[in-house]
Structure 1
Amino acid sequence: MDKNDLPLTFLGKKLEFPPVELANDDGLLAVGGDLSPERLLLAYKNGVFPWFNEDALILWWSPDPRMVLFPKEIKISKSMRKILRENTFSLTQNTCFDQVLDHCAKVERKGQDGTWITPEMNKAYKELFHRGLAKSFEVWEEGQLVGGLYGVDLGHVFCGESMFSLKPNASKFAFIKLARLCLEQNYRLIDCQVYTEHLASLGATPIPRSRFIQILKS
């Protein structure tokens, strides 16, 4: 039987997810449940993440292949090297998580109508931050917040969630700085979830989900 013909798992109150191998060809694994910190942390530890539209059921995904960046493989263009040398931007960590998240929710993205960072998601990740499980990286120019990213930190894998730029190259700057920090601290990889040309240009690459889960569990 084709995996796409199998019924989706509907989650209840019990904190559990089906095996990721049961995800359909698009990576959809389960529906429902909640966005409690406990469930979110369980999801990320098992290679699962939420992604859904407002006023819809919570959808849980585990795509195969998985887009990741191995920190040592970060690609830095000549133009970005110049920006890094000239200190065009400065970087802080965890100084204004709420603002970064709010900007990620509001920024317009090519090919997207609206945002997947619903009010429910917004509240959930802010709670993760207050519990020390999520982090933000902020990019500044002349005292103004111009870019950044946030994600869930598992200690050996950083699960990137979203980034934004109000000035050209600001999110690239944040991502490069994140990769360098992860390399220094011996993180195995940065989870980028799904393929985009932007991430590929920075060195991210798709790997089999099975390999991703193996690294995640190591």
Structure 2
Amino acid sequence: MPRSPIPLLSADPDSPFPATERALVEPDGLLATGGDLSPARLLNAYRHGIFPWYSEGQPILWWSPDPRNVFATDGVHLSSKFRRQMRHCDWTLRADTAFAEVIAACADTPRPGQDGTWITDDMFAAYREMHRLGHAHSIEVFAGDRLVGGIYGLAIGRMFFGESMFSSESGGSKIALAGLAKLLCGWGWPWIDAQVENAHTRSLGSRLMPRASFVSEVGRLANEPAPAGSWSERVGAMAASELF
């Protein structure tokens, strides 16, 4: 049987990943395969600028693309028309009150050019466990008691790694992203990792950062102390109109 061109991870969740500069150019950023989605493995991966991304039926695939797509927390762009519309919006934002619902909605939301979802049952379980342990968080957008948008990801130190966002009503994901960025900027967190660029993130102000710079930034920020207190208590119920 031909040897795999990418390294197979050890069964030990504490074993190191290959250096990110060893990632393939095509497909961009594919670094390793195998392993598991244990909290120790996931934290190790994200601390080194690596994330899992695979579909049902595939082995676990680990990625570190070059360049990396990021949002500056003070640089999310929303059009003037959208801002005018949202100034009279009665939606509210909360944090960590509906994490499972947000990730389930992200899994169920159709994406242009994407057949099915990469949020497999194992991924769903892994990130719910990360949430239980206090590493994964969600920002939720509510119209009354109805969830209309959200975003979730991992927070390590003062670095936020965005995983996915959704809208069930127009503008829901934009409000979630803008709310997250405003909160993080106020806390002194400079970046939101958006992983791979697409037309939607580009329209919202994402930028490309060389992988080496991104990994250096993550190494610095992930080792800084995170603010104390639960996200739900710190965020409370933020009026969406306050963002504009």
Task: Tell me the TM-score normalized by structure 2.
Answer: 0.85
Q: CA, structure 1 residues 90+83, in 2 after alignment: closer, same or farther (shift >3 Å)? A: farther
- Partner SS, residue 33 of structure 2: strand
> Which residue type is aligned with residue 17 of structure 1?
F
- Partner SS, residue 76 of structure 1: coil
Identify the residue that residue 197 of structure 2 maps to in structure 1. Answer: 195
Matches of 2:76 and 2:188, distance apart in 1: 14
Matches of 2:81 and 2:176, distance apart in 1: 15
Q: CA deviation at 1:118?
A: 0.2
Contact 1:188 1:215 in 2 (8 A): no
Identify the residue that residue 68 of structure 1 maps to in structure 2. Answer: 70
Matches of 2:82 and 2:43, distance apart in 1: 34
> Which residue type is aligned with residue 19 of structure 2?
P
Q: CA, structure 1 residues 6+123, in 2 after alignment: closer, same or farther (shift >3 Å)? A: closer
Unaligned runs of at least 5 residues, structure 1: none
- Partner SS, residue 218 of structure 2: helix
Matches of 1:80 and 1:22, distance apart in 2: 42
Identify the residue that residue 6 of structure 2 maps to in structure 1. Answer: 8
Q: CA, structure 1 residues 6+120, in 2 after alignment: closer, same or farther (shift >3 Å)? A: closer
Contact 2:74 2:190 in 1 (8 A): no
Identify the residue that residue 153 of structure 1 maps to in structure 2. Answer: 155
Q: CA deviation at 1:55?
A: 1.6
Matches of 2:166 and 2:82, distance apart in 1: 17
Matches of 1:165 and 1:155, distance apart in 2: 28
- Partner SS, residue 138 of structure 2: strand
Q: CA deviation at 1:155?
A: 2.7
Identify the residue that residue 142 of structure 2 maps to in structure 1. Answer: 140
Q: CA deviation at 1:6?
A: 8.6
Deviations 1:30-88 (A, max 9, x none): 00000001100110000000000112100000000000011111212113322442134
> Which residue type is aligned with residue 149 of structure 2?
G
Picking from 172, 192, 202, the partner of 2:174 is: 172
Contact 1:80 1:173 in 2 (8 A): no
Q: CA deviation at 1:154?
A: 1.2
Q: CA, structure 1 residues 69+159, in 2 after alignment: closer, same or farther (shift >3 Å)? A: same
Count of matched residue positions in the alignment of Structure 1 and Structure 2: 214
Q: CA deviation at 1:11?
A: 0.5
Identify the residue that residue 123 of structure 1 maps to in structure 2. Answer: 125
Give the stretch that moved more between structures: 191-200 or 86-95. 86-95
| Correspondence 1:107 to 2:109 | yes
> Which residue type is aligned with residue 10 of structure 2?
G
Give the stretch that moved more between structures: 158-167 or 88-97. 88-97
Matches of 1:6 and 1:57, distance apart in 2: 12
Matches of 1:182 and 1:105, distance apart in 2: 25
Deviations 1:74-133 (A, max 9, x none): 212113322442134210100010010111111111111000000000000000000000
Q: CA, structure 1 residues 141+113, in 2 after alignment: closer, same or farther (shift >3 Å)? A: same
- Partner SS, residue 74 of structure 2: helix
Contact 1:28 1:63 in 2 (8 A): yes
CA RMSD in angstroms comes to 1.3
Picking from 184, 201, 205, the partner of 2:207 is: 205
Identify the residue that residue 40 of structure 1 maps to in structure 2. Answer: 42
Runs of 4 or more, structure 1, over 2 Å off, are: none
- The sequence identity of aligned pairs, in percent, is 44
| Correspondence 1:217 to 2:219 | yes
Contact 2:48 2:215 in 1 (8 A): yes
